[in-house]
Amino acid sequence: MFGVTTQAVQGITQRLEGDYDCLVFHATGTGGRSMENLADSGLLTGFIDLTTTEVADMLVGGEFAADSDRFGAAIRTRLPCVVSVGAMDMVNFGPRETVPEKFRNRRLLVHNPNVTLMRTTPTENRMIGEWIGERLNRMEGPARLLLPEGGVSALDAPGQPFHDPEADAALFEALESTVRQTTQRRIERVPANINAEAFITATVAAFQSVAPRRERSA
């Protein structure tokens, strides 16, 4: 979860909490690593890896960066996995004055005095899509990749400051051209913003299609 995908994550967990104990991790670099460490320890049933913005920070140079083992737990454990591209419209920095000089003329949004967001470009999104796609190709367990055509965050919706259909298209096309789809590994485009009810419904359906239903004890 990230602030700009909170609505989606909350909606998904509300739908699934009758069958699963849903653990939510914040996409701050350490959050992704904590999630994957739990999976490697055998404590998870599956992933809904909705907010993968840590990859953007890793590849472009932000502060909430993943490491090169991102998605490694899903590869190693073969657990059911639903992936999306939440908050892939942004790279995260600290206060405005901490943004590297080479990015000073980019589209920046001062979220608060301590957080400055930078909109990813089509070129960056192609690179990100290719990197994620190659990682997904190594997943041998059931995997679904959902692409929200109406925007990848609350800031990427029509009328919002990071709305950029060209950049989103570059990300989606890179993923679709890189991921080798099989009966186990599928891509689905959803004509909705990531926080919309339609996307929440599609994510829950995708997870239920790949994950075993848990029988909860009384």
| Domains along the chain with CATH numbers | 3-88+125-210 (3.40.50.12030)
3-state class percentages of the chain: helix first, strand second, coil last, to nearest 5: 40, 15, 45
> What is the helix (H) or strand (E) element at residue 178, kind and residue range?
helix 165-178
Instruction: With residue 128 as reference, give the H or E element that holds it.
Output: helix 122-136
State what percent of residues in the chain have pLDDT above 70: 97
The CB density around residue 199, as the number of other CB atoms within 10 Å, is 27
CA atoms within 13 A on the CB side of 19: 12
Residue entry with tokens 């090169």: 68
Measured between alpha carbons, how far is residue 59 from residues 67, 129, 154, 209 in Å?
9, 11, 22, 31
What pLDDT does 212 receive?
A: 74
Q: What is the mean pLDDT of residues 71-87?
A: 98
Q: What is the mean pLDDT of residues 113-117?
A: 94
Span 4-25, pLDDT tens digits = 999 999 999 999 999 999 999 9
**For 164-203, what is each residue's pLDDT tens digit?**
999 999 999 999 999 999 999 999 999 999 999 999 999 9
Rounded to two decimals, the pTM is 0.95
Burial class (CB in 10 A: 0-12, 13-18, 19+), 23: exposed
pLDDT at residue 215 greater than cutoff 80: no
